Structure 1
Amino acid sequence: MIKTLVYVLLILIGLCISPLIIGQSGYVYIAIGEYQIETSLVAAIVGLIVFYFMLQLAEWLLVLLLNIILSSRYLPEKWRKKAAKKYTLAGALAIAEEDWPAAEIAMAKGAKQGEIPLLNLFAAARAAHYQGKTTARDHYLTQAEKNPIAKIAVDTSRARYFIKQGELAKARAIVDKLSPTSKSSTPVLKLAVDLYQQQQDWSALKLILPIIAKRKVLEEDELESLSTKTNTTLLMDAAKTSEAELEKCWQWLSKDERKQDELVIAYAHGLNILKLHDKALKILYKRLKTAPTPVLFSALPDLINADDIDIRQLIDRLETTHANDVNYQTCLAKLAMQQRNAKQAKEHWQNVCRIAPSHQSWLALAQVQDQLGENTSAAQSYRNAAIKI
């Protein structure tokens, strides 16, 4: 509204002063070489205005012509890019629906003129893999590999696909080439952990576990479980070789690791395998005296025998503090059975059934009662065991 009012005021002012201008038109003389122009001031101003508008018109026409020429030249490329976006969207939706054939076709087409062809190629490779089309999958990855920034991603993807196919040797060749270190990316480290576990290469896994812990690649409980499994397996494998190898593996562990019950138990098992029972008893006695735990109680019946008097006496002395520990009572029951002391075993199995009744504990009690000829009690225990199934 204000803009319109301004225009109206300008027109009215022009109408008011135009008679004055016409009455006093002025005079303009222009000489250029042999050419001379004589005109009034009003005509000169009008001519300049017209000339300005002609220049503007010429500029507009020139820009329009250039746009038409350029757009006609690059129009097919725009069409291709638009089609690539369409294919990429269709491929993404197909992946979400796990329609792998459609996803592969759409992503492969979208890679030709797409804004991010690497994305399309990796997606097409994944779709081809799920269809079992390894040749097509490798072709897409080879195309993606031409981009230098995608080299590690391509190697990681290839190794993952080889693992899923069960071709662990090929995957290992790639992982060795990537050489996992503290500077490696998290996906590379996870890939190495998965592959070493499947290959049961515990020595290689042991070497990268400190890096895994420092980089927090795995959850704390998952890392602890993997570390324990790795160290336990290494100890048992070393025990099958020689005492020197077992000692070397044991000393390889950190001070904190040598205090873990699972590793102490594995070490004792290894010593027993090597016929070094006295040495195993010594380390078990020390551990049991300083930190008796349920894990240790559960393992003791398999590590000691009926003639190991000293450690048995130590276990008996712990009853004042562990009388209500189901693992401790179970341990005592099994140790009593080693000495063929059925009456003492029955008392401990009764304690186990009192503290934490289970199918196994009632069944063990029933079997002991059978040995003692307590048929009625045994029958009742068998019924209780059946109820706990």
Structure 2
Amino acid sequence: MKKLFLLLLVILAAGAFIGELMVKDPGYVLIAYNQTTIETSLWVLLVALILGFALLHGILSLISRTQLPTARLQAWKEHRNQRISRRKTLKGLTSLSEGNWAQAQKQLAQAAERSDLPLVNYLAAARAAHEQNNEKATDELLQKARNSTPEAELTVAISQAEIQLSRGQLEPCLATLLRLRSMAPKNTYVMKLLKDVYLRLNDWSALAKLIPVMRKHQALKEDGLAELSRQCNSQLLQESIDKLPVETSAEDRHKALGRAWHNLPGDPGSDPELVQRYTELLVSLGADDRAEQHLRDLIKRNWDEQLVNLYGRVNAENAKKQLDTARSWAKSHSESPALLLTLGRLSMRNQHWGQAVKYFEQSLELEPRSETLAELARLLRHLGDQDRAQALLQQNLNLVASGLPELPMPEAVAEKTPA
């Protein structure tokens, strides 16, 4: 209230001062142009200029705030189109989630024509068309998505690759993914799709090159990458033999397999499953002596129960030397169930039957395993000790029939004695 009062006082004082000036000297202004002259006082001219400026400002503001009928109509149409597009998009996505592919395709495609963001609609409609196995419509909708939003080429191409992979179009899918890798080399989803294509194409060499990149960018968990690497390396070993001509000699096959083993990335000898695969391939080529030497070197470098077990399955030419090698390990690994099982098998190869029985029994005592039980029971039967073999199997029935559910059993029936 005080501020308003002070403002009025200031205005009155200013008005009084200006009024006094106007009375004292009104001034004189003459404007002449061609044959026309305008005479007025200075103060009237100032008031006219102020009123003219205010009037012009008001007219311009009114024009800027008032839309022409055509502009209002255009805005109404755009708002209506967006409302219809949102409604059809919602219906289309609902149909898509419910598996109504034909209806989803129609609704989403129609919504895309009115939408200001048609990319999502076209991609979803392409997915619906794909689910109907309508390849022509799928490709057309993908192209419309590409044309509607050129800057989203990566997104459209990923959808295209997924659809090609689902169709089984592996070569076109590979071409699409390789182009995507050049566009987005760090995209982990593209790497996963590329991995799936290589697996289905059995392109193990390409997959071997991709795995380190996937590991660098953490495209898969480490256990998944380890399993994938093991599968890939195993197939590379097999491929090194299979790709050779039929007339290739056994020696050349051994050399090819050896080269493939040494060319594997990392330390393949630290993977018992991969070592087992390599050993099996050597044995299949008749190279048991090489397999025995290879296993001996690995076990000497890094003791592994699985490899020791595998050593007992290799039939090297010099069975006595192989047994002596295994016996030398017993000095520092006397309590190894795998070594005792291997010693039992190698003793059988040397026809040391009694010693083999002792080794099998010691191994079974340390670690009850069905494999050891089967070896001991088989040996006892061939030695003519059927009763002992049967008793052994009965005592270790849980090893032979592991995994049986708990079920009620009848009470034991006493044997009838003759009167």
Query: What is the TM-score normalised by the length of structure 2?
Result: 0.73
Superposed CA offset, 1:234-273 (max 9, x none): 2123334451532442343247335644443333322222
Superposed CA offset, 1:170-225 (max 9, x none): 43454566687995744433222111112322233234334444444333332222
Given that residues 27 and 38 in structure 1 are in contact (C-alpha distance below 8 angstroms), is that contact kept between their aligned partners in structure 2? no
Worse-superposed segment, 35-44 or 175-184: 175-184
Given that residues 285 and 311 in structure 1 are in contact (C-alpha distance below 8 angstroms), is that contact kept between their aligned partners in structure 2? no
Given that residues 366 and 381 in structure 1 are in contact (C-alpha distance below 8 angstroms), is that contact kept between their aligned partners in structure 2? no
Question: What corresponds to 2:295 in structure 1?
Answer: 284
Given that residues 28 and 44 in structure 1 are in contact (C-alpha distance below 8 angstroms), is that contact kept between their aligned partners in structure 2? no
Distance 2:320 2:230 in 1: 30
Residues 125/333 of structure 1: CA separation in 2 closer, same or farther (3 Å cut):
farther
Question: What corresponds to 1:303 in structure 2?
Answer: 314
Q: Determine whether 1:62 maps to 2:88.
A: no
Q: Determine whether 1:317 maps to 2:328.
A: yes
Given that residues 322 and 346 in structure 2 are in contact (C-alpha distance below 8 angstroms), is that contact kept between their aligned partners in structure 1? no
Superposed CA offset, 1:284-337 (max 9, x none): 222222223123134334433696222232223323433444444454455566
Given that residues 363 and 381 in structure 1 are in contact (C-alpha distance below 8 angstroms), is that contact kept between their aligned partners in structure 2? no
Unpaired segments ≥5 residues, structure 2: 405-419
**1:30 aligned counterpart, secondary structure:** strand
Question: What corresponds to 1:163 in structure 2?
Answer: 165
* Code of the aligned partner of 1:206: A
Of 396, 399, 403, which aligns to 1:381?
396
Aligned-residue offset at 1:26 = 1.4
Aligned-residue offset at 1:281 = 2.0
Aligned-residue offset at 1:55 = 0.8
Question: What corresponds to 1:197 in structure 2?
Answer: 199
Aligned-residue offset at 1:279 = 2.1
Question: What corresponds to 1:272 in structure 2?
Answer: 283
Distance 1:385 1:268 in 2: 28
Aligned-residue offset at 1:39 = 4.0
Q: Determine whether 1:29 maps to 2:29.
A: yes
Residues 255/166 of structure 1: CA separation in 2 closer, same or farther (3 Å cut):
closer
Question: What corresponds to 1:234 in structure 2?
Answer: 236
Distance 1:180 1:4 in 2: 72
Distance 1:157 1:106 in 2: 19
Give the paired residue count.
Answer: 389
Q: Determine whether 1:223 maps to 2:225.
A: yes
1:81-120 alignment runs, 5 A limit: 81=82, 83-84=84-85, 104-105=105-106, 107-120=108-121
**2:219 aligned counterpart, secondary structure:** coil
Residues 79/381 of structure 1: CA separation in 2 closer, same or farther (3 Å cut):
same
**2:286 aligned counterpart, secondary structure:** coil
Question: What corresponds to 1:53 in structure 2?
Answer: 54
Unpaired segments ≥5 residues, structure 1: none
Counting helix residues as a fraction of each chain, which structure ranks higher? 1
Residues 167/330 of structure 1: CA separation in 2 closer, same or farther (3 Å cut):
farther
**2:124 aligned counterpart, secondary structure:** helix
* Code of the aligned partner of 1:171: C
* Code of the aligned partner of 2:26: G
Question: What corresponds to 2:407 in structure 1?
Answer: none
* Code of the aligned partner of 1:229: Q
Residues 8/183 of structure 1: CA separation in 2 closer, same or farther (3 Å cut):
same
Worse-superposed segment, 283-292 or 140-149: 140-149
Residues 19/202 of structure 1: CA separation in 2 closer, same or farther (3 Å cut):
closer
Distance 1:307 1:163 in 2: 53
**1:303 aligned counterpart, secondary structure:** coil
Aligned-residue offset at 1:143 = 1.8
**1:322 aligned counterpart, secondary structure:** coil
Question: What corresponds to 1:256 in structure 2?
Answer: 267
Worse-superposed segment, 270-279 or 247-256: 247-256
* Code of the aligned partner of 1:288: I
**1:32 aligned counterpart, secondary structure:** strand
Residues 122/340 of structure 1: CA separation in 2 closer, same or farther (3 Å cut):
farther
Given that residues 104 and 128 in structure 2 are in contact (C-alpha distance below 8 angstroms), is that contact kept between their aligned partners in structure 1? yes
Superposed CA offset, 1:94-148 (max 9, x none): 7677776665455434433544433332233234434544433222212233355
Query: What is the TM-score normalised by the length of structure 1?
Result: 0.77
Aligned-residue offset at 1:162 = 2.7
Given that residues 236 and 270 in structure 1 are in contact (C-alpha distance below 8 angstroms), is that contact kept between their aligned partners in structure 2? yes
Distance 2:268 2:163 in 1: 35
**1:321 aligned counterpart, secondary structure:** coil
